[in-house]
Amino acid sequence: MSAANPFALTATAPDTHALSGALTFATAAQALRECRGAGHAKTLDLAGVDAADSAGLAVLLALARDARAAGRPFAIANAPESLRALAQLAEVDGLLGLG
């Protein structure tokens, strides 16, 4: 994990969790584990994410899939433009509601 932008997960409301720092290959396993263990947030707020790559995108896709399989609502708020662009390039922006 990078010391400059470590991953962090914070419950900011009963149904919202905020992610901050890096959502990258270096933090993806931790991010997925912590998000799954933190309960079922309806919304993930990514305003604090300062770095994201394809591994971070895969984490979001896994969380969205988990929610769909359980019949729970799931939304992403404040996705960084770089993550939106990556999702569009991979043609998965619609799966994450980023389209």
> How confident is the model at residue 2, as a pLDDT?
42
pLDDT at 24 over 60: yes
Phi first, then psi: what are they for 6, rounded to 5°? -65, 155
The answer to whether the predicted template modeling score (pTM) of the entire model surpasses 0.85 is: yes
Give the whole-angstrom CA distance, residue 65 versus residue 45: 17
**Regarding the domain delimited by 8-89, which CATH topology (the fold level of the hierarchy) does it fall under?**
Transcription Regulator spoIIAA (3.30.750)
pLDDT of residue 41: 83
CA distance 99 to 94: 5
How many C-beta neighbours within 10 Å does residue 85 have?
13
Please state the rounded mean pLDDT for residues 26-36: 95
